[in-house]
Amino acid sequence: MVTVAHLVKGMIKDKPFLQEALGKKLIAYGNLAEQFHDHIENELGKKVKHSAIVMALRRYADELNDTINDVKPLDFNCEINLKTNLCAINIIKS
């Protein structure tokens, strides 16, 4: 059965920039819920409360926060040059 939470996750998984912003708590849940509201109501075929979408966003953001904190940034020096559709990547191994 499709739920509000399933639809919210699906909509966010399609947009990696939203995943990162939600994981870092940069987006207001209420404003994003307003953007998703009409689409979710159309998919479910019934009225959906704004608070239900906000709660689904908060829960999913908590999941994303845990995964984002697990990712460690790469620590290396590199240089990328792009010229007329050619790409050269130089990495110094130390």
Quick: pLDDT tens for 36-92: 999 999 999 999 999 999 999 999 998 887 766 555 666 677 776 667 777 777 788
Q: Which of 20, 7, 29, 17 is nearest to 64 (CA)?
A: 20
| Phi and psi angles of residue 78, each rounded to the nearest 5 degrees, phi first | -150, 165
Instruction: Decide: helix, strand or coil at residue 26.
Output: coil
Q: Give the DSSP H or E segment for 62.
A: helix 50-70
CB 33 within 8 A of CB 8: no
Instruction: Decide: helix, strand or coil at residue 31.
Output: helix
d(CA 60, CA 25): 11
Angle CA 36–38–41, to nearest 5? 105
Asked whether the whole model's pTM tops 0.85, one would answer no
